Amino acid sequence: MSAVPEGDRFELLAAAGEVADGTLLLANTAARLLGLVVPAFADIATLDSISPGGELRRLGSRVDAPRGRDELEAALLRRRPLPDAPVGLPRAIVSSESQLLVSVTDADLHAIASSDEDFELLRALELRSALFIPLRARGRTVGALALGVGTSGRSYDEDDLRFAEVLSGRIALALDNATLSETVTGLERRLEATLTNLAEAVLVREAGGQIVFANSAAAGLLNLDSAQAATQATPQQLMELYDVFDENGRRLGLADLPSSRAGRGEDAGPLLVRNVIRATGDERWLLHKATPVFDPDGSLSLIVSVIEDLTEVKRAELAQRLLAEAGQELSSSLDYEHTLQRVAELTVPGLADWCAVAMRDGDLLAQVALAHVDVGKVARVRDFEARHPVHLGDPAGAAEVVRSGEAMLIPEITGELLAGAALTDEELALARELALRSVLIVPLAIADQAPIGALTLATAESGRRLGDTDLALAAELGRRAAIAVENARLYGELSAIATTLQRSLLPPDLPAMPGFRMASLYRAAGEQNEVGGDFYDVFEVPGGWMVVVGDVAGRGAEAAALTSLSRYTFRTAGKLLGDPIAALEQLNTALRESPALSLVSVCCVRLRTADGDAFADLVLAGHPPAYHVRRGSCRPVGVFAPFLGAYEHGGWEATTIKLDPGEQLILYTDGVIDTVGADERFGEERLARTLTDATGAADAVRRIEQALVEFAHGSQVDDTAVIAVERTARGVVETRAPGRGDAARVAPN
């Protein structure tokens, strides 16, 4: 008779089928299966799985015995069947055929046992009948089931063998499913653990585009509630949560991202994007990388995207670059309005969509710079601001920041905020048209000083929300801009002072001298504010005229003072005394009285007429010679003598020459002969050659100016003064007054 009644067999099969359908782990599955067959179909059962390599692994054992059950189960669990036993489990596996031992003999047990100890174990089971069933699934043997009866008094027959084979089909399936599921979940777990713990955000898309996996870093980076949220939305839906731009501010769509490009089979290199979360306005710099994964048949299976958060790095880099470039702009020019406009342009679109700079101008705040990527919008706002000047007393915005010196940040411009801001209808309309999201205003101020203006940054199109980092960067920018503006202003004032001073050092116009014609040239060196250096003067003295050119050693304020002193002292002394040497001695005494060594070189000439002839009495003090141009020749005139201010007695000597009509006397300062050329200085000889064929005073000056312009290499380093005196025909009274546009014109320019 069979070990299991007919009715119970169906229940057993159904129960085994349920186990096969479940998703139990392998160990649980084995326990459930063994629990089904013992004691219903066997007193003793063992279940083994077979790896693809052929190795047996005992999954469980079950014994139904009146005593020693646990020990027997443990011993059976440890038991390793003899691989080449002619009877039993190994035999069933190798032959892939079930075996039925209707009555188990000691000879059978000896054949099965691997040792005496094993034999004793088998004996202790008190087996009467045994069944050994190979378990087959998906075309291969995946395990084996051993069943035995004895203590219950049952024994197996052919009928039990057939039932066992049917049951084994279900058991094999359950076992195989559990094994597969365990392998897969093991892999998944390992993969998920790896991905989950990655700091980088990982998104996996199917070939069709749907996101099938996202780790928590990705959810965080993309501002999603959970990783599931990423897999529940379509990529397009996700994309709509953000405004995405490339580094140049160009808006990007889903199709531009590397994952999409990889999906289209395109070469998808890494792409750095500025990702602005629409809901919050938070900005992140994300580096997208995508790798396609292909199936064995070559078709695209998955696209793995790794998204790296480079926000900190990128912001630091942007800030550094902005400040560096702004610094360069701010120091490059003294035209601060132009400079501020350039700085404003540097901030868009990297830092903001809008940048405006306003400066205090009396009671108004004048907009001096405005930048946005769209020039049309700039024009629109400029137009508005031209019609609506901002008054310093205005209650809010830049006016308030300039008054208080406190920076202001409005991260989120809401409708209520606008409504409550006491704006005119037109202002409100403009604000809505521009769709500003976020705004910050920092004062343009140098430490402890009243702000001179304000710098405003605002976002609109990018949807970015400005924050404390932006505020700090803008404040630094504002501080630097303020310093640059102050410098430019100071410099402007200094230039104005310099120009005024310079003018005071030169005669406003050359006076009319009967019988003589004059022309002059004055070129101030380098930057305008370095006054000092050369002077010239022409004035009437008893019995004639005095003409003087002088050069003060040094530059700057001290030199300017010395120049002024020299000119007026010489003029006063000359007018009183009428004699050039006496006038020089007077100036020498004045210079000697100053505490520091004050040296002045001078070339002075007294022009006088006697019986219709003109004479020049010329004195040099530390000065190069004057030139006498006469009928196509040019010769130096003057006796060299010490500087004024060097010694108590200089021993200055006058040289007297007769100036016939058409002849010229050229006085100059060393700026002329020291002018730097490509490989030498202008020099006395070149000057003499330049003057040889001069036809008159104006021509002489024009020749010198032209020669210097052609010769000079690089910027002029010293002042240059030239006075040419020409003896005109008897009775002709003429003076060439210098002025702008003349061939011989007078600097300062």
Q: Which of 554, 578, 662, 748 binds another protein (CB under 8 A)?
A: 554
- In angstroms, what is the minimal distance from the CB of 573 to another protein? 20
**Which residues in the 561-600 window bind another protein by CB under 8 A?**
597, 599
Of 451 and 625, the one with the shorter C-beta distance to another protein is 625
Q: Which of 535, 536, 643, 668 binds another protein (CB under 8 A)?
A: 643
Distance CA(146)–CA(77), nearest Å, equals 12
Please choose, from the candidates 69, 6, 3, 73, the residue with its C-alpha nearest in 3D space to the C-alpha of residue 41: 3
Is 427 a residue that touches another protein (CB under 8 A)?
Answer: no
- In angstroms, what is the minimal distance from the CB of 654 to another protein? 15
Q: Which of 502, 601, 690, 720 binds another protein (CB under 8 A)?
A: 601
- In angstroms, what is the minimal distance from the CB of 534 to another protein? 11
Of 469 and 716, the one with the shorter C-beta distance to another protein is 716
Distance CA(472)–CA(309), nearest Å, equals 22
Number of shown-chain residues binding another protein (CB under 8 A):
34
Of 68 and 651, the one with the shorter C-beta distance to another protein is 651
Distance CA(12)–CA(133), nearest Å, equals 16
Q: Which single residue is written with the structure tokens 């070559």?
A: 298
Please choose, from the candidates 247, 249, 237, 239, the residue with its C-alpha nearest in 3D space to the C-alpha of residue 460: 249
Q: Which of 391, 713, 732, 749 binds another protein (CB under 8 A)?
A: 713
Q: Which residues, 6 or more positions from 123, have their beta carbon under 8 angstroms from its beta carbon? A: 106, 109
Q: What φ, ψ does residue 86 adopt, rounded to 5°?
A: -70, -15
Please choose, from the candidates 165, 12, 170, the residue with its C-alpha nearest in 3D space to the C-alpha of residue 98: 165
Q: Given the rule CB under 8 A, which of 238-246, 444-452, 472-480, 679-687 is the region that contacts another protein? A: 679-687
Q: What share of the chain is helix, strand, coil (3-state, %, to 5)?
A: 40, 25, 35
- In angstroms, what is the minimal distance from the CB of 526 to another protein? 10
Q: How far is CA 33 from CA 56, 68, 540, in A?
A: 18, 22, 134
The H or E element containing residue 53 is none
Q: Which single residue is written with the structure tokens 């303020």?
A: 482
Q: Which of 243, 670, 699, 719 binds another protein (CB under 8 A)?
A: 670
For 321, other C-beta atoms within 10 Å of its C-beta total: 12
| Total number of residues shown for the chain | 749
Is 679 a residue that touches another protein (CB under 8 A)?
Answer: yes
Cβ–Cβ under 8 Å, residues 744 and 721: no
Of 115 and 715, the one with the shorter C-beta distance to another protein is 715
Please choose, from the candidates 626, 646, 634, the residue with its C-alpha nearest in 3D space to the C-alpha of residue 536: 626
Q: Which of 401, 513, 641, 657 binds another protein (CB under 8 A)?
A: 641
**Helical packing angle, 69-78 and 116-124, nearest 10°:** 140
The H or E element containing residue 436 is none
Q: Which of 278, 489, 640, 689 binds another protein (CB under 8 A)?
A: 640
Is 534 a residue that touches another protein (CB under 8 A)?
Answer: no
Q: Which of 714, 729, 731, 741 binds another protein (CB under 8 A)?
A: 714
Q: Given the rule CB under 8 A, which of 65-73, 244-252, 325-333, 546-554 is the region that contacts another protein? A: 546-554
Q: Given the rule CB under 8 A, which of 62-70, 88-96, 302-310, 641-649 is the region that contacts another protein? A: 641-649
For 404, other C-beta atoms within 10 Å of its C-beta total: 11
Is 522 a residue that touches another protein (CB under 8 A)?
Answer: no
Is 655 a residue that touches another protein (CB under 8 A)?
Answer: no
Bridge partners (DSSP) of residue 129 are 149
Is 403 a residue that touches another protein (CB under 8 A)?
Answer: no
- In angstroms, what is the minimal distance from the CB of 498 to another protein? 17
- In angstroms, what is the minimal distance from the CB of 692 to another protein? 20
Cis bond leading into 748, ω under 30°? Answer: yes
Distance CA(702)–CA(695), nearest Å, equals 11
Token pair, residue 18, equals: 């349920």
Q: Given the rule CB under 8 A, which of 299-307, 470-478, 488-496, 637-645 is the region that contacts another protein? A: 637-645
Of 39 and 650, the one with the shorter C-beta distance to another protein is 650
- In angstroms, what is the minimal distance from the CB of 277 to another protein? 58
- Please enumerate, as own/partner, the contacts of 168-171 that have beta carbons within 8 Å and a separation of 24 or more: 168/98, 168/133, 168/134, 168/135, 168/136, 169/136, 170/13, 170/16, 170/17, 170/19, 170/20, 171/16, 171/19, 171/20, 171/33, 171/47, 171/135, 171/143, 171/145
Is 681 a residue that touches another protein (CB under 8 A)?
Answer: yes
Is 623 a residue that touches another protein (CB under 8 A)?
Answer: yes
- In angstroms, what is the minimal distance from the CB of 643 to another protein? 6
Of 209 and 683, the one with the shorter C-beta distance to another protein is 683
**Which residues in the 453-482 window bind another protein by CB under 8 A?**
none
Q: Given the rule CB under 8 A, which of 96-104, 563-571, 579-587, 674-682 is the region that contacts another protein? A: 674-682
- In angstroms, what is the minimal distance from the CB of 554 to another protein? 7
Is 193 a residue that touches another protein (CB under 8 A)?
Answer: no
Distance CA(604)–CA(287), nearest Å, equals 77
Cβ–Cβ under 8 Å, residues 142 and 50: yes
Of 650 and 738, the one with the shorter C-beta distance to another protein is 650
Is 557 a residue that touches another protein (CB under 8 A)?
Answer: no
Is 720 a residue that touches another protein (CB under 8 A)?
Answer: no
Burial of residue 93 (number of CB atoms within 10 Å: 0-12, 13-18, 19+): buried
First-residue to last-residue Cα distance in the chain: 131
Of 518 and 562, the one with the shorter C-beta distance to another protein is 562
- In angstroms, what is the minimal distance from the CB of 537 to another protein? 19
User: Binding string to another protein for residues 683 to 712, with x set by CB under 8 A, is what?
Assistant: -x----------------------------
Is 302 a residue that touches another protein (CB under 8 A)?
Answer: no
Of 294 and 640, the one with the shorter C-beta distance to another protein is 640
Q: How many CA atoms lie within 13 A of 610 on its CB side?
A: 9
Contact residues for another protein, defined by CB under 8 A? 551, 553-555, 597, 599, 601, 620-625, 640-643, 646, 650-651, 670, 674, 676-681, 684, 713-715, 717-718
